[in-house]
Structure 1
Amino acid sequence: MEIRKLELGPGIRLTAVSSDKFKSSRFSVSMLSSLDSETVNAHALIPRVLLRGSKFRRNLTEISRYSDELFGLNVSSLSRKYGEKHGVGLAASFTDAIYLPEGYVAKIIDFIFELLLQPATKGGLFLPEYVESEKSKHIEALKSIKNNKELLAYFNFLSSMFEGETYAINHHGDIEGCEKLNYISLSKAYKKLLTFSKVELFYCGSLSSDELMFRLMMPLAGLPRAKRIGIPETNILYAPPREDINFCFEKADTTQGIVYLGFRIGEYFKTADLASLRVFNTFFGSSISSRLFKNIREKLSLCYEIYSSYDRFKGSFFIFAGIDFDKFELAKNAILTEIQAVADGEFSDEELNMAKKVAYSDLLSVLDSPGKLESFFLAMNLSGKDAQPHEFAAACMEVGREDIINIASSLRLDTVYFMTSEENK
């Protein structure tokens, strides 16, 4: 497996993973910009509209027919959040070049850029019927969040914890903002996005990076670029912005209580290494051998499900728990007790070693999936890191007790969120 990272133009980076071990290849184009309430709705909608038709294949029927001719090419839209950056674009999965007739990979790459750079337009603007159709579907998807109480609680928790910060913005957008879009405003936003965004290209397949670069020369020539392209870095708060803990209680039509605890990782994050954070999260709450799972769920039976996660870009740590309504105080206090116990070093080497092995195994599994490789390298690129999965995995095995203790000691509780039933007092 050969991995190369290449600058192909102003603000354009290619990560090429050349390997003949996969039967399917992956190619993606991610356009990165600042997460902004003024642009988030347009940026989230643009990839959906791009998939409706191109200059040469004007509708879904023609796109589907041509995708079948390309041996089952599948192209999907992307909208992802990286701290306070928004990444949107297109991702394609297709039969690897080894199993395709000669020249077909070039056709596939050309078609992806056809969708991206030559959409179906009239008078230089998106077709109104396509914009209204995709806008309607997107609004329905946003409305459906209200029926998914766990997802609704998550977004409301983020809005409360990060109130006044860019991070609070939902990268899928919001109903009110999406309703205001039309084919003219979306066309303008699309042209600005192409010109001013940073572009991350990813490829995983049997082509060499030199072959791929040759295939990309013509398509990239049609990508408009500003002379200076820059995106502000994510603003990191090492301590909660409020003197007191932020408590947020919400009532909803739910059969299960939903708890979120949000922490700022604190001073440790100023010099944090990603391997230590990965192992700490695995050790504390993201695996079935974790402290939260074993002690809060299994031993104390205080929740139906529980796990932790973290945002490497924002320096934040989150804990989720699904509980009976009357278990809120018990569950919250038990979670905080677990954090303090870890900060005091009350854990065995066996627990830590198990977490290191799980993290190691999870990272090596990245090497078995083109999709996981894409997620891994894009996150690494945006973190300013250059590690490969096996190197990151090896670093996890070097994490020591003091690293775990230091992270737990550095956590600062910012927000406690609880969604309960409308009948619960």
Structure 2
Amino acid sequence: MIPIHINKESKFKTVTIALKFKAPLDENTLTERALLAKLLTKSTAQYPTEQQLYDHLSELYGAHLSSYVTKQNTASVITVSIEFINDKFIDENLFDQACQLLSDVINHPDTTGQVFNAGKVEREKQLLASRFDHVRDNKAQASFQQMLQEMFKGQSYRFSSMGIEEHLSEVTPESVYAVYRNMLENDEKALYIIGDINENLRASLDTYFNFEQSKIQLEPLKIKAAANPEYITEHTDTSQARINIGMTVPIKFGSADYFAFIVLNQIYGGDAASLLFMNVREKMSLAYQIHSQADARLGLMYVIAGVQNKTYKKTVDVILRQLELIRQADFPDELLSIAKKMLISHRRENLDRPRGWIEMSYASTFDDVKLSTEEWMAGIAAVTKEDVAGVAQSVNVQTIYCLANEVKA
């Protein structure tokens, strides 16, 4: 049986049930998984049109059905969830009806034989093609994706969870169905429920979500420290240059360095009090927007900025200089204090939302070490200036990708 995680939380008027499917990132199936995530919640065998399914959700007091695919660690994760009003506010057993619908979405999709409906697959392919066009036209998104392509050459991690545009024409109703069957049979699964419900409902959950469990192995990212960063500049017609910098740091989840790395990112470019924002954007007026973001579990950090075309090279130098300041512990004590308070506050805010609790709980399944919320907050609170400077010393700048207008001499 699959693991079932229940958070009995009385402050919500709704109940949220989310089913997670995890598979190793594979560029050969990424596009089908992205399409599958959309197809599953558009219709079922019992409700073969979007309108019929929408009408049924309306009968369930406006229940909300959703699905999405994400890239977590080196896995592709499909989430299918339903949110509905708690039974105690209505005179009806909505819990069982919602469970039945979510089960049908997964187990009884709108298929004929071993293929999905060709017309619906084609429509989703067109919608996905439009999303690819949007990314390509959005210079910020396109340049970040290009930086990932360069930084993770030869690894499926270089692709977005939305799939691969070049593969879209090869997708067929049969190939989507094959990926669907593979998901049911081989994905690692988990069920999350949050709301004011009783634990004695667990037996009925086993009935609705009676999936065979699989255990998958994720391949670690293979990326060597670079002696010198790879500097790539491409030219296009753009009103502002785009800078994307990819960095790595060797850390172990749950260690002192792990917490220091999270704080480092916050100090570097995590919010409006950070060095990148205050120095590069506010004081020097070199960036229209700038921030850093980190995947602490994988030891990855990125800087993303929109800057003036004529000063993008100078701005790269200034961005890297801010990292040097952190390595030398040359930043205010107040900034360290603000960073830790903001991180702990964000953690609490996430836990106050059903989806936030689900995603944070699920993220913990990727690690052998288990950290409670209290342990995580204590780890952040214990970080010192010396800890941040120490982990900054091990940050390796891998890839600097710039997209800019070609400046004529």
Assess same fold via TM > 0.5: yes
Partner Cα separation in structure 2 for residue 264 and residue 270 of structure 1: 17
Structure 1 partner of 2:345: 361
Q: CA deviation at 1:214?
A: 2.1
Secondary structure, counterpart of 2:190 in structure 1: strand
Q: How does 1:274-353 map to 2 (within 5 A)?
A: 274-353=258-337
- Deviation string 1:179-212 (CA, Å, 9 cap, x unpaired) is 211111111111011110011222111113442x
Farther off after superposition, 265-274 or 112-121:
265-274
Farther off after superposition, 69-78 or 271-280:
271-280
The share of aligned pairs that are identical, in percent, is 23
| Alignment length (residue pairs) | 409
Q: 1:218 aligned to 190, 203, 207, which one?
A: 207
Structure 1 partner of 2:218: 232
The TM-score, its normalising length taken from structure 1, stands at 0.91
Structure 2 partner of 1:394: 378
Secondary structure, counterpart of 1:304 in structure 2: strand
Partner Cα separation in structure 1 for residue 251 and residue 70 of structure 2: 27
CA contact (8 A) 2:243 2:307 kept: yes
Structure 1 partner of 2:31: 41
Partner Cα separation in structure 2 for residue 423 and residue 67 of structure 1: 55
Secondary structure, counterpart of 2:235 in structure 1: strand
Q: Does 1:130 align with 2:130?
A: no
CA contact (8 A) 2:251 2:258 kept: no
Q: How does 1:9-408 map to 2 (within 5 A)?
A: 9=1, 12-211=2-201, 213-221=202-210, 223=211, 225=212, 229-237=215-223, 239-240=225-226, 243-266=227-250, 271=255, 273-408=257-392
CA contact (8 A) 2:244 2:402 kept: yes
Partner Cα separation in structure 1 for residue 74 and residue 246 of structure 2: 17
The TM-score, its normalising length taken from structure 2, stands at 0.94
CA contact (8 A) 1:238 1:266 kept: no
What is the one-letter code of the residue matched to 1:116?
I
- Deviation string 1:84-130 (CA, Å, 9 cap, x unpaired) is 11001312222233324342111101101101110112124212122
Partner Cα separation in structure 2 for residue 209 and residue 278 of structure 1: 35
Q: CA deviation at 1:74?
A: 1.1
The structure-2 alpha-carbon separation of the partners of 1:336 and 1:100, relative to structure 1 and needing over 3 Å to count, comes to same
Partner Cα separation in structure 1 for residue 124 and residue 258 of structure 2: 38
Partner Cα separation in structure 2 for residue 340 and residue 270 of structure 1: 25
Structure 1 partner of 2:402: 418
Q: CA deviation at 1:62?
A: 1.1
CA contact (8 A) 1:248 1:417 kept: yes
Structure 2 partner of 1:3: none
- For structure 1, the residue ranges without an aligned partner over 5 or more in a row are 1-8
Q: CA deviation at 1:65?
A: 0.7
The structure-2 alpha-carbon separation of the partners of 1:48 and 1:237, relative to structure 1 and needing over 3 Å to count, comes to same
- For structure 2, the residue ranges without an aligned partner over 5 or more in a row are none
CA contact (8 A) 1:363 1:392 kept: no
Secondary structure, counterpart of 1:408 in structure 2: helix
Secondary structure, counterpart of 1:260 in structure 2: strand
CA contact (8 A) 1:360 1:394 kept: no
Q: CA deviation at 1:172?
A: 0.8
Partner Cα separation in structure 1 for residue 246 and residue 143 of structure 2: 13
The structure-2 alpha-carbon separation of the partners of 1:234 and 1:251, relative to structure 1 and needing over 3 Å to count, comes to same
Two-structure CA RMSD over aligned residues (Å): 2.0
Partner Cα separation in structure 1 for residue 200 and residue 219 of structure 2: 31
Secondary structure, counterpart of 2:204 in structure 1: helix
